Amino acid sequence: MKHNKDPLILNKIVASLLVGGLVIMGSGYLVDILYHTSIPEKPAYFIEPLDTNQTTAKQEPEFPPLNERLRVVSSLDGDSIKRGKVLFKKCKSCHTTNKGGKNGVGPNLWNVVAHEAGQKQSFKYSRNISEVGDWSFDKLDKFIEKPSAFLKGTKMSFAGIKHPMQRASVLLYLNSLSDTPAPLPVDGSDGGADK
């Protein structure tokens, strides 16, 4: 034999490839048997997605009136003002909150609750701002819910905070931006509106 040519070489290669393949498939199957965990068809629990900007407030259960909401959020465990401060992140791009702070896209918000609207010097408010009068808790609640609906033609281009409890937290925080925070409204009052 000059050359050690095996006429079956091709068959042998194919066969070894096949066997190799079977071993790999087989081991995969074994792993499957060893580690297979069954996934139930239905999850045992369902976590609702957390949506901080929900637009479906109408389908929510009824929320108590503002004075009650303020009472609830101010009596929650922990730093209740901080909760509003965290939510205020949505407002920060336009508003400063420090005493004597600069106006930005929106006016500085120190001493706004229970004070006359549109009073920050050198801020160009929208024409209708004087219609607001004093910013009572109640008016602020409505304004923050949907600025454009509460104050026609407002320059505050912000969609609003739909969740009533979140608004209450923000109001609590806004009220803290003062040397003399206003007393929270009690039954029958809308909070700071009466002169």
Is residue 112 at the binding interface for ligand HEC, with CB under 6 A as the rule?
A: yes
> 11 or 130, CB closer to ligand HEC?
130
Tell me if 182 contacts ligand HEC by CB under 6 A.
no
Stretch that binds ligand HEC, among 26-34, 68-76, 149-157, 181-189 (CB under 6 A): 149-157
Regarding 170 and contact with ligand HEC (CB under 6 A), the answer is yes
125 belongs to the binding site for ligand HEC (CB under 6 A): yes
Q: Which stretch binds ligand HEC (CB under 6 A): 14-22, 25-33, 35-43, 109-117?
A: 109-117
Amino acid at 74: S
Number of residues that bind ligand HEC (CB under 6 A): 27
Query: Can residue 157 be called a binding residue for ligand HEC (CB under 6 A)?
Result: yes
- Choosing from 66, 156, 182, 184, the residue that interacts with ligand HEC (CB under 6 A) is 156
User: Tokens for 141?
Assistant: 């609640």
Question: Which range of residues in 10-18, 52-60, 156-164, 186-194 is near ligand HEC by CB under 6 A?
Answer: 156-164
SS (H, E, C) the chain: CCCCCCCCHHHHHHHHHHHHHHHHHHHHHHHHHHHCCCCCCCCCCCCCCCCCCCCCHHHCCCCCCHHHHHHHHHHCCCCHHHHHHHHHHHCCCCCCCCCCCCCCCCCCCCCCCCCECCCCCCCCCCHHHHHCCECCHHHHHHHHHCHHHHCCCCCCCCCCCCCHHHHHHHHHHHHHCCCCCCCCCCCCCCCCCCC
Q: Which residues bind ligand HEC (CB under 6 A)?
A: 90-91, 93-95, 105-107, 109, 112, 117-120, 125-126, 129, 140, 144, 151, 154-158, 161, 170
